[in-house]
Every structure is written in structure tokens, then in C-alpha cells.
Amino acid sequence: MRAEFDALEASAERAGTALACLYSSSDEFEAAQNDARRGALWWRPQAIDGFLLVLTATAVAAVIALAALAGLALIAV
């Protein structure tokens, strides 16, 4: 029973070592984090551009509609 427990404990230690940090220093880890953040930001403006286009078109349509309503109100007076 003790031998099995020791084997299990050794396996747990090896598993912990296998899950250890892949980077040799904190500088290397921070550089990888910065690269990942830059990669994530690379696609973000492209996704927002489509949203901004729809938002701008909606705002322009609303201004045109308000101008048309103001014009109709002036004609009616």
C-alpha cells in the first residue's frame, strides 16, 4: 500500500512539473503577454469599423429625418 502511495505521489509531482511555467523568466512571460494583447487588438478595429459604419448611417438617417420633419413643420405654419 505504501509503495502505491509513493508511486502516486511521484506521479503527482511529475504532473506538477509538466504544468510548470513555459517561460524561463518573468520578462519572457510579459513579452509573450504583450504579443498576445497586440494580436488581439489587431482584429478589434476591423470588427468595430462595421459597427461604426452602421452607427454613422443610422445617425445620418436620423438627422435627415429630423430635418424633413422640421421642414414640414415650417411649411405647415
61 pLDDT more than 70: yes
CA angle 23, 13, 7 (to 5 degrees): 155
Please say whether the beta carbons of 37 and 43 come within 8 A: no
Mean pLDDT of 30-42: 82
Whole-number pLDDT of residue 32: 87
| Mean pLDDT (the chain, rounded) | 81
Amino acid letter, residue 15: A
The pTM assigned to this predicted structure is 0.39
Whole-number pLDDT of residue 16: 60
Distance between CA 12 and CA 56 in Å, rounded? 57
Q: Quote the distance between the C-alpha of residue 62 and its chain's center.
A: 31
